[in-house]
Amino acid sequence: MPETVLDLIVVSPQTDEEDWAIYSPQIPGLAGGRDSFLQLREDLPEILRFAGVDLPAHLRIHVEEIYESTDTDYVIRVAQDPCHKDRAATANRLRAALTDERQRYDLLSSPRTRTGEVLFISAVASDTLGELAAQLHPSGDAAVIVCSVADNFIWTFHFTNSEELDEDARSLVDLGISESTTIGEIMGQRTNSHPLAVLAA
């Protein structure tokens, strides 16, 4: 029987008064919070048992930071895995791009999540569409997948599991790809500059 895989999203506090919070797209009722990220990591087994999750499970932990702005609120999510250093570097490139007025406008004009923010997921070339789709809320979600290219650039595409959130999204079948397709493979197949919008299976 395949091992259960859970994506746990840790929300970084915006103020000193807030806790580190946690939720999961695969466990709608999961909610928890602790004073520090370290304490949250230490208490994860207890939090998951309380939510009725059988252990052991393979956990993919992601940390997201929320940015409130006068134009559009946005979230940057970075997985805490062996590729974390590369993902963090990509997130920094994204933050730099968001300081440029034109790039900021283009990036924040992307489809929004079900709660109204633009979600940026920092990716690496080896990530598969299936792994990224698992991070989307099952009731309908949208994200901008961000990957580093060349020395200081980023490459993005829109990713959703809801046609209502992104009417331009095309299915995996239409695009000739699958959940096992990697971001690197998609980047290698792109031969034009037209924005790519993918509808997850």
Range of the structural domain that residue 48 is part of: 5-62
Q: How far is it, in rounded angstroms, from Cα 12 to Cα 64? A: 6
- 100 and 158 part of one domain: yes
Residues 47 and 72 in one domain: no
Residues in the chain: 201
Supply 7's token pair.
Answer: 């994506």
pLDDT by 10s per residue, the chain, length 201: 456 788 999 999 988 889 999 999 998 888 889 999 999 989 988 888 888 887 656 889 999 999 998 889 999 999 999 999 999 999 999 999 999 999 999 999 999 999 999 999 999 999 999 999 999 999 999 999 999 998 889 999 999 999 999 999 999 999 999 999 999 999 988 655 566 899 996
Looking at the structure, tell me whether residues 14 and 86 fall in a common domain: no
CATH code of the domain containing 36: 3.30.2390.10
Domain count, the chain: 2
